[in-house]
Protein backbone atom coordinates (compact mmCIF):
# COMPACT_ATOMS: atom_id res chain seq x y z
CA UNK A 1 0.00 0.00 0.00
CA UNK A 2 1.24 3.47 -0.86
CA UNK A 3 1.74 5.91 2.00
CA UNK A 4 -0.21 9.07 1.24
CA UNK A 5 0.78 12.52 2.37
CA UNK A 6 -0.22 16.03 1.28
CA UNK A 7 1.98 17.35 -1.50
CA UNK A 8 1.23 20.92 -0.45
CA UNK A 9 0.30 20.81 3.23
CA UNK A 10 -0.37 24.57 3.28
CA UNK A 11 -3.17 24.02 0.73
CA UNK A 12 -5.27 21.32 2.42
CA UNK A 13 -8.94 21.44 1.47
CA UNK A 14 -11.53 22.43 4.04
CA UNK A 15 -15.28 22.04 3.71
CA UNK A 16 -16.70 25.56 3.14
CA UNK A 17 -20.19 26.71 4.04
CA UNK A 18 -21.45 26.42 0.43
CA UNK A 19 -20.05 22.95 -0.17
CA UNK A 20 -21.13 20.82 -3.15
CA UNK A 21 -20.27 17.13 -3.18
CA UNK A 22 -19.88 14.32 -5.66
CA UNK A 23 -20.83 10.77 -4.71
CA UNK A 24 -17.86 8.41 -4.89
CA UNK A 25 -20.12 5.82 -6.54
CA UNK A 26 -19.84 7.89 -9.74
CA UNK A 27 -16.40 6.31 -10.08
CA UNK A 28 -16.77 3.08 -8.16
CA UNK A 29 -19.99 1.95 -9.84
CA UNK A 30 -19.07 3.21 -13.32
CA UNK A 31 -21.78 5.85 -13.65
CA UNK A 32 -19.44 8.21 -15.52
CA UNK A 33 -18.32 5.60 -18.03
CA UNK A 34 -21.02 6.49 -20.57
CA UNK A 35 -20.99 10.25 -20.02
CA UNK A 36 -19.45 12.63 -22.52
CA UNK A 37 -16.85 15.11 -21.30
CA UNK A 38 -19.45 17.86 -21.83
CA UNK A 39 -21.97 15.96 -19.69
CA UNK A 40 -19.39 15.63 -16.92
CA UNK A 41 -18.60 19.36 -17.11
CA UNK A 42 -22.31 20.15 -16.78
CA UNK A 43 -22.62 17.69 -13.90
CA UNK A 44 -19.77 19.46 -12.09
CA UNK A 45 -21.52 22.83 -12.48
CA UNK A 46 -24.77 21.34 -11.22
CA UNK A 47 -23.26 19.68 -8.15
CA UNK A 48 -21.50 22.93 -7.28
CA UNK A 49 -24.70 24.95 -7.76
CA UNK A 50 -27.17 22.59 -6.10
CA UNK A 51 -28.52 22.68 -2.57
CA UNK A 52 -28.60 19.81 -0.07
CA UNK A 53 -31.44 18.14 -1.99
CA UNK A 54 -29.54 18.35 -5.27
CA UNK A 55 -31.74 21.15 -6.63
CA UNK A 56 -30.48 24.02 -8.77
CA UNK A 57 -32.26 26.83 -10.58
CA UNK A 58 -29.39 27.72 -12.93
CA UNK A 59 -30.96 28.72 -16.24
CA UNK A 60 -29.67 27.77 -19.67
CA UNK A 61 -28.23 31.22 -20.30
CA UNK A 62 -26.17 31.19 -17.11
CA UNK A 63 -24.94 27.64 -17.63
CA UNK A 64 -23.94 28.41 -21.23
CA UNK A 65 -22.14 31.53 -20.05
CA UNK A 66 -20.27 29.67 -17.29
CA UNK A 67 -19.12 26.92 -19.65
CA UNK A 68 -18.70 29.00 -22.82
CA UNK A 69 -21.20 26.79 -24.65
CA UNK A 70 -23.91 27.18 -27.26
CA UNK A 71 -27.47 26.23 -26.36
CA UNK A 72 -27.20 23.10 -28.53
CA UNK A 73 -24.09 21.92 -26.72
CA UNK A 74 -25.85 22.37 -23.37
CA UNK A 75 -28.89 20.45 -24.61
CA UNK A 76 -26.71 17.53 -25.76
CA UNK A 77 -24.86 17.38 -22.43
CA UNK A 78 -28.11 17.60 -20.47
CA UNK A 79 -29.64 14.83 -22.61
CA UNK A 80 -26.64 12.60 -21.88
CA UNK A 81 -27.04 13.12 -18.11
CA UNK A 82 -30.77 12.40 -18.31
CA UNK A 83 -30.13 9.24 -20.34
CA UNK A 84 -27.61 8.09 -17.73
CA UNK A 85 -30.23 8.74 -15.01
CA UNK A 86 -27.96 11.20 -13.20
CA UNK A 87 -30.24 14.25 -13.35
CA UNK A 88 -33.85 15.24 -13.78
CA UNK A 89 -34.70 18.51 -15.50
CA UNK A 90 -37.82 20.56 -15.83
CA UNK A 91 -36.90 24.12 -16.85
CA UNK A 92 -35.51 25.91 -15.00
CA UNK A 93 -35.09 23.29 -12.25
CA UNK A 94 -32.36 20.66 -12.22
CA UNK A 95 -32.16 17.83 -9.71
CA UNK A 96 -29.06 15.75 -9.10
CA UNK A 97 -30.51 12.27 -8.60
CA UNK A 98 -29.56 9.66 -6.02
CA UNK A 99 -27.36 7.09 -7.75
CA UNK A 100 -29.05 3.78 -8.45
CA UNK A 101 -28.39 0.88 -10.79
CA UNK A 102 -30.90 1.36 -13.59
CA UNK A 103 -31.05 0.78 -17.30
CA UNK A 104 -30.17 3.67 -19.59
CA UNK A 105 -33.17 5.63 -20.89
CA UNK A 106 -33.83 5.83 -24.63
CA UNK A 107 -34.95 9.45 -24.72
CA UNK A 108 -34.22 12.76 -23.00
CA UNK A 109 -37.52 13.10 -21.16
CA UNK A 110 -37.16 13.31 -17.39
pLDDT in tens, 4-57: 988 999 988 887 787 788 888 999 999 999 999 999 999 999 999 999 899 999
In tens, the pLDDT along 57-74 reads 999 999 999 999 999 999
| Residue 88: burial class (beta carbons within 10 Å; 0-12, 13-18, 19+) | middle
**What is the DSSP secondary-structure string of the chain?**
-PPP--SSGGG-----TT-----THHHHTTTTTT--HHHHHHHHHHHHH--TTSEE---HHHHHHHHT--HHHHHHHHHHHHHTTSEEEETTEEEEPPP---PPPSSS--
List, in order of start, the domains of the chain with CATH numbers: 23-96 (1.10.10)
Q: What's the pTM value of the predicted model, to 2 decimals?
A: 0.83
Amino acid sequence: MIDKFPLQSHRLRHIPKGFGWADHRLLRDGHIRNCSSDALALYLVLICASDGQGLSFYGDGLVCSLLGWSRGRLEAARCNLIQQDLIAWEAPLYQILELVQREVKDDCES
